Amino acid sequence: MKSHVIVKTHELALKGKNRPWFMRHLVDNLRNATLGTGVSRVWQGHMLVGLTLEDESSWPEVRERVKECFGVAKFFKAYEVPVDLAKLKEVLPGLLADRNFQSFRISANRSDKRFPSTSEEMNRDLGSFVQELSGARVDLKNPELEVFLDVMSSGILLYFEEVKGHGGLPVGVSGHVMTMLSGGIDSPVAAWHLMKRGCRSSFTHFHSYPLVDRSSIEKAMELTEHLTQHQFFSRLYLAPLSEIQKQIIVSTPPAFRVILYRRFMVRITEILAQRQGAVAIVTGESCGQVSSQTLDNIAVIDAAADMPILRPLIGMNKEEIVEMSRKMGTFSVSIQPDQDCCSLFVPKHPQTHARLETVLKLEAALPVDELVEAAVAGTEVKEFATANTASYSGVQALECR
Ligand code: ATP
Ligand code: MG
């Protein structure tokens, strides 16, 4: 008997003209996600994507990979039987043999309405069959086992439990963003949210090496590698900030330094983003979390870039962000100690309500364009691909999308 993984999306996202575009990305992404795991074919059905398993032993690994693919609302491992109720009754005893249940329900659905029995008739017919076979009772409200049947024109899919995915949109359908990735807890969570909405993300990390050690660089690399599982290929830009910081500390009062660092970061990120074809910058800022994240300071930082700066965590509490980070699996990396560039030469109580005129006056003492250009020129690029896509020629195609 053939087995498949059947993937369903949120139907709303599939409305209208966008459907083929959405489905094509989802099929491509699922193919990339499961390369080398024993999936022999990825195919598109009516409002679903199917992955045919070479053998059932690959299911646990395929399950983990499919779960992390954005655009997947839910999925299940399904057996395919011919479109024939008698055949279905032949295989059901074998499939139910090692399942323990006192109550059950049959939930049939006809994707192909030409099938002669209605869903209701199938539920009743197979319900009494399973009742006789197992001795369990029918419980429509709270069954211990639910047997799902989906009648398609090519076969009947039979499955027992659904696995929930993250939902959202397949990476690639919403364009490209550049996430400012610090090595802390928040920015990987911010990137995750945009990726979940269908954006491919590149990453920029600022470091003050050799003024400090390389620990923040190592963390940014580890975090990028982790996030790459959702998009299969990523670029991380490692941008040097130390020269800029050296000049800022000479001319700028301590309270304003973080704001100037941030404005330089944003300018550099914008140039790197444009080179990548990214159309927005993403940060992990949350309103009021620390002194540099007041609305006044955010406005002053925004004024350094023309590109939109997206802050998906702006309304979230720290505990909510931490919980997300744990679920995503980035928390343990994010909390490792590092030498963060932003903590260099800054006071305990930085300016919380900066005014743009003041900041512009302070910047007038600096060769801004020259410093930005030098940092861009000194930026190192690292590429990341998931193990299964590293050897895959589609990487080129992936990064272009
Ligand atoms: P995070 O946990 O993401 O480091 P945070 O709570 O420590 O955030 P800040 O240090 O104020 O907050 O940083 C706010 C945002 O600025 C970060 O989420 C990130 O997007 C960006 N950022 C800060 N430092 C860096 C850095 N060294 N490289 C790249 N981006 C940075
Ligand atoms: Mg930080």
CA dihedral 197, 202, 203, 204 (to 10 degrees): -130
The residue ranges of DSSP E strands in 89-199, in sequence order, are 103-110, 137-138, 145-151, 156-159, 163-164, 176-180
By most ligand atoms within 8 Å of CB, the mutation choice from 178, 181, 186, 293 for ligand 1 is 186
- Counting residues of the chain whose pLDDT is more than 90, the rounded percentage is 79
Mean of pLDDT values over 129-152: 95
Confidence of residue 395 (pLDDT cuts 50, 70, 90): very low
Domain boundaries, the chain: 2-164, 176-399
Ligand nearest to the CA of 264: 1
Q: What is the pLDDT of residue 274?
A: 97
Residue 62 in contact with residue 39, Cβ under 8 Å? Answer: yes
CA dihedral 249, 250, 256, 260 (to 10 degrees): -70
- Decide if domain 2-164 falls under CATH 3.30.2130.30: yes
- pLDDT of 376 above 90: yes
- What's the CA gap between 375 and 206, in Å, rounded? 10
Q: What is the pLDDT of residue 344?
A: 73
Residue 104 in contact with residue 145, Cβ under 8 Å? Answer: yes
**Which pair of tokens denotes residue 272?**
């790197």
Ligand 1 centroid to residue 390 C-alpha, Å: 29
CATH architecture of 176-399: 3-Layer(aba) Sandwich (3.40)
- What's the CA gap between 368 and 399, in Å, rounded? 31
- pLDDT of 278 above 80: yes
By most ligand atoms within 8 Å of CB, the mutation choice from 180, 244, 338 for ligand 1 is 180
Q: What is the pLDDT of residue 17?
A: 80
Ligand 1 centroid to residue 297 C-alpha, Å: 14
What is the DSSP-derived secondary structure letter of residue 136?
P
Atom of ligand 1 nearest to the CA of 318: 6
Within 6 Å (CB) of ligand 1, which residues are found? 180-182, 184-187, 204-206, 283-285, 289-290, 292-293, 341-342
- pLDDT of 394 above 60: no
Confidence of residue 345 (pLDDT cuts 50, 70, 90): confident
Q: What is the pLDDT of residue 300?
A: 96
Tell me what the pLDDT averaged over the chain comes to: 92
Q: pLDDT of 5-27, one tens digit each?
A: 999 988 666 667 888 888 999 99
**Which pair of tokens denotes residue 246?**
């050296």
- Shortest-distance Cα residue to atom 11 of ligand 1: 292
Mean of pLDDT values over 88-102: 93
Q: pLDDT of 170-222, one tens digit each?
A: 999 999 999 999 999 999 999 999 999 999 999 999 999 988 899 999 999 99
- What's the CA gap between 207 and 213, in Å, rounded? 9
Residue 235 in contact with residue 381, Cβ under 8 Å? Answer: yes
Ligand nearest to the CA of 186: 1
Q: What is the pLDDT of residue 393?
A: 45
Mean pLDDT lowest among 51-65, 301-315, 335-349? 335-349
Confidence of residue 116 (pLDDT cuts 50, 70, 90): confident
- Phi/psi for 281 (5° steps) reads -105, 145
